[in-house]
Amino acid sequence: MKIQYQDKVLESEKEITIQELLKEEIEKNEYPVIGAIFNNQYVNLEYELKQDGEVKLIDIASKEGTKIYRRTIIYILGKAVEEVCPDKKMIVNYQLPNSMFCELENTEITEELIQQLNEKMHQIVQRDLPIKQVVMTREQAKEFYEKNHVSKGRLQFDLLENQEVFMYYCENYYNYCYGTIANRTGITKIFEIIKYEDGFLVRYPSSDKPGQLPKLIQTKKLAWALDEYDDIHKILNVNTIYKLNKAVEEDNIKDIIMLDEALHEKKIANIADKIAQNRNVKMILIAGPSSSGKTTFAQRLGIQLRINHIKPVTISVDNYFVERPDTPRDENGEYDFECIEAIDLELFNDHLTRLLNGEEVEIPEFDFHVGTKRYNGKKLKLEPDQLLVIEGIHCLNDKLTNRIAKEQKYKIYISALTVLNMDRYNRISTTDTRLVRRMVRDNQFRGYDAKHTIKTWHMVNRGEEKNIFPYQEQADSIFNTSLIYELGALKAIAVPLLEQIKQDEPEYAEAQRLINLLKYFKTIPAEYVPTNSLLKEFLGGGSFKEH
């Protein structure tokens, strides 16, 4: 058996784990190694090599390494909870910057309890206990669930196409993670638990600074928005995939869809009412990460504003790029169109100021092929009942509109903040939801395949982390564009796209991870989605078109 690692070819006459084969390389790696990729599939270090292939190590300084670290620390937390308070049920609710918000059902979180959990987790980590993956046949799994009366990992068993059910064991504790976790507890040395609201945060390092806990960022507005949607979906009784699938099976999904869409409309109407009540507001600024549904949101907000006797007028930041020779370059010498200095801030603010003063301005149109602004006689003057609406990645950053008074601006942050969980312990990543949305839209309207979307996704994320996320707490309103049923509706298009990615392609690992997520959703027919839904921006066939 021949295994390629970097520029070496290693041989073994017997089956061997990655941990055993690459022991020296793992030990001398700059950062702790937490997982691996074998033949473009995510595996942990205890994975047994039985055939020729290529191995790549994943350390905690990588994005995927951070995800494995996070899953592992949540697994260890679950074990600590069972040991400290075995009669309590832990719920992993949602992710905040470099932390996960958790609760204990019907339990007051005290500082004493926080201390006990911290101490227990540190004990588990210091003992460097092995985490073993146990594989059961369907028959064994049936017997296991009947005997133990638990729901851990039950979603695997409920999916009839799964011929095997997996469980991770650490001593006498068992649970399931929908994704790779570490093979030992000792690798997750850096973490802390702190009291937060009516629950607690589990904090962990970021991939860019894996050796330390980042500074705690206060995200009260974001947490409030997530909490609000989480509570509503609990009332709807669809906070997990199991409950969503049950609604599909029992033919109640149309009701869930209507309620979810009504919630969106109500929230958009509330934002429009707040804007209308503030007579000082002259400008609405909308920002959010990729595939949040900004286009449809802006147009639906426009309808609600018109109900309030306000006529929205859109102005595009994209027409105000600096001339191509003046465009900043990134560390690789490439043009950096996403940095705020790529915008002609002086001209943009001059035009905004004049418009708000009632003057007429000639709006440029940027020619991207040549890299210059062109003036084609497009003039704009605001009427007394009109408001400017501006959408763009820098809209929450005051530097973009530095000459406009704060009271004249109303900022809105929008994102698909997923509140649906796999089960009590496993949440669905907001980033994954946006990635699936983008993949479907790229294929439907831009002619890109799923491979291209996955390949370029890290660059999209990098721009968001730099230009959008640091400013989200400056928003006057946060609008959650996620829909509890959306992955079921996107599945029919997304899965065939992902299945086109071949195993010898680097994007295969991510494709398989997403397929393994989507397979747990029962398909929801696209025709169930209302034509004014934000989801139609990705599926097509909606009432709203691109500006």
- Whether 232 has a pLDDT exceeding 90, the answer reads no
For residue 132, the cross-strand partners are 169
State the pLDDT confidence band at 503, using cuts at 50, 70 and 90: very high
C-alpha 419/C-alpha 234 separation (Å) is 10
Q: What is the pLDDT of residues 383-441, one digit of tens each?
A: 999 999 999 889 999 999 999 999 999 999 999 888 888 988 998 989 999 999 999 99
State the pLDDT confidence band at 309, using cuts at 50, 70 and 90: very high
Domains and CATH numbers, the chain: 2-59 (3.10.20.30), 64-210 (3.30.980.10), 223-278+415-474+482-539 (no CATH)
Residue 337 identity (one-letter amino acid): F
Q: Once rounded to an integer, what is the mean pLDDT over residues 115-120?
A: 96
Would you state the pLDDT for residue 228? 78
Query: Which of 41, 45, 42, 1 is CA-nearest to residue 19?
Result: 45
Would you state the pLDDT for residue 190? 95
Report residue 200: phi and psi, to 5°. Answer: -150, 155
- Whether 374 has a pLDDT exceeding 90, the answer reads yes
The tokens describing 450, both together, are 């799923």
Count of other CB atoms within 10 angstroms of residue 9: 11
pLDDT > 70: what percent of the chain? 99
State the pLDDT confidence band at 509, using cuts at 50, 70 and 90: very high
Q: Once rounded to an integer, what is the mean pLDDT over residues 52-59?
A: 94
Q: Once rounded to an integer, what is the mean pLDDT over residues 115-138?
A: 95
Q: What is the pLDDT of residues 253-263, one digit of tens each?
A: 999 999 999 99
C-alpha 112/C-alpha 117 separation (Å) is 9
Q: Once rounded to an integer, what is the mean pLDDT over residues 271-295?
A: 93
C-alpha 68/C-alpha 47 separation (Å) is 15
172 Cβ contact list (under 8 Å, min separation 6): none
C-alpha 499/C-alpha 492 separation (Å) is 12
- Whether 546 has a pLDDT exceeding 80, the answer reads no
Q: Once rounded to an integer, what is the mean pLDDT over residues 102-107?
A: 91
Please identify which residue in the block is written with the tokens 């939801």. 433
Would you state the pLDDT for residue 221? 81
Q: Once rounded to an integer, what is the mean pLDDT over residues 71-93?
A: 94
Would you state the pLDDT for residue 320? 94
Model confidence, pTM: 0.89
State the pLDDT confidence band at 545, using cuts at 50, 70 and 90: low
What is the average pLDDT score of the chain? Answer: 91
Q: Are 59 and 28 in contact (CB under 8 A)?
A: no
- Whether 69 has a pLDDT exceeding 70, the answer reads yes
80-88 long-range contacts, Cβ below 8 Å, gap at least 24?
80/117, 80/120, 80/121, 80/124, 81/117, 82/173, 83/120, 83/173, 84/113, 84/116, 84/117, 84/120, 85/113
- Whether 547 has a pLDDT exceeding 50, the answer reads no
Handedness of CA 305, 478, 476, 467 (dihedral sign): negative
State the pLDDT confidence band at 295, using cuts at 50, 70 and 90: confident
Give the H or E element holding residue 100. Answer: strand 99-104
Q: What is the pLDDT of residues 433-462, one digit of tens each?
A: 999 999 999 998 888 999 999 999 988 888
pLDDT > 90: what percent of the chain? 72
Q: What is the pLDDT of residues 162-217, one digit of tens each?
A: 899 999 999 999 999 988 999 999 999 999 999 988 899 999 998 888 888 988 87
Please identify which residue in the block is written with the tokens 């995800």. 67
Handedness of CA 334, 453, 502, 207 (dihedral sign): positive
